[in-house]
Amino acid sequence: MGDKWSVLVVMLLGDGPRRFSDLKRAIEGISQRMLTLTLRGLERDGLVARTVFPTNPPRVDYSLTSLGHTLIEPVRALGAWADENRFEIQRAREDFDRRTTAELAPASSRSAVGEGA
Amino acid sequence: MGDKWSVLVVMLLGDGPRRFSDLKRAIEGISQRMLTLTLRGLERDGLVARTVFPTNPPRVDYSLTSLGHTLIEPVRALGAWADENRFEIQRAREDFDRRTTAELAPASSRSAVGEGA
DNA sequence: CAGCATCCTAATAGATACTG
DNA sequence: CAGTATCTATTAGGATGCTG
């Protein structure tokens, strides 16, 4: 998928299997519906395995498949990048927003101007 | 951002600067509106630089910033993963969909059943 | 060429209530 | 506990027309 919930779930399951509500608590901010949809999507793609224990109350474990495990490394690399650069990105955004909020105080256009090639 | 258009743009700009319509042609399937929004977003995050040549007709180059360049490697790793595993994922999806389309011919539930832990 | 503005639709997220 | 069902609000995205 590529969306943020899927990324978080894959990262969490990288440390081992987890139960539904366990994931729900761990993620914080995700609705139970989105967690269901996310897990269903990951399961569909063969990244996550779903194991039902027919106990009462019911228990369902989610774990990464072997394919899912191969995803961790590249995803982690990207996560690390995001983490390392989040302040620089934040700063860039603030700069950009300040520059473009000055849209009403002209005398300067929005972009760098290049020399004719 | 993380969306697919941004990923594609970053990959393309990894090979060097490109002009707007150049990108539009290269991406194929992107609308001019989405390309504008995507570039604006990347510019805002400090990943892409926009250079205007005040010629006639106007010319605008987009290129990766140094921050943008550091993104290429992790993004490429993820892209490589997706490429390597796309058939397996496709197969997993077909399996999953076949299994869940049989939702109307029961006598088997949707998931693996675990032994009681 | 490189866009911005506007309109409109379809997909998505999120909250809430209910079930085996 | 682990969901499903339903409804609403927000968003993404495409199409079109206009400008410097």
SS (H, E, C) B19-37: EHHHHHHHHCCCCHHHHHH
Whose tokens are 């510019």? That residue is: B43
B90 touches strand C (CB under 7 A): no
- Within 7 Å of a protein beta carbon, the nucleotides of strand C are 1-6, 13-17, 20
Q: Is B89 on the interface with A (CB under 8 A)?
A: yes
Q: How large is the average pLDDT for residues B92-112?
A: 74
| Right CATH for A4-101 from 3.30.750.210, 1.10.3720.10, 1.10.10.10, 1.20.210.10 | 1.10.10.10
The 10s digit of each residue's pLDDT in B54-74 is: 998 999 999 999 999 999 999
Domain spans of chain B, in order of start: 4-101
Residues B39-43: contacts with CB within 8 Å, 24+ apart? B39/B9, B41/B1, B41/B6, B42/B1, B42/B6, B42/B9, B42/B10, B42/B68, B43/A96
Q: What is the pLDDT of residue B101?
A: 77
Measured between CA atoms, the residue of chain A closest to residue B56 is A116
Give this prediction's pTM. Answer: 0.88
> Which pLDDT does position A116 carry in this prediction?
44
Q: Could you tell me the end-to-end alpha-carbon distance of chain A, in angstroms, rounded to an integer?
A: 41
pLDDT in tens, B5-45: 999 999 999 999 999 999 999 998 999 999 999 999 999 99
How confident is the prediction along chain A (117 residues), in pLDDT tens digits per residue? 578 899 999 999 999 999 999 999 999 999 999 999 999 999 999 999 999 999 989 999 999 999 999 999 999 999 999 999 999 999 999 999 998 877 655 555 555 666 543
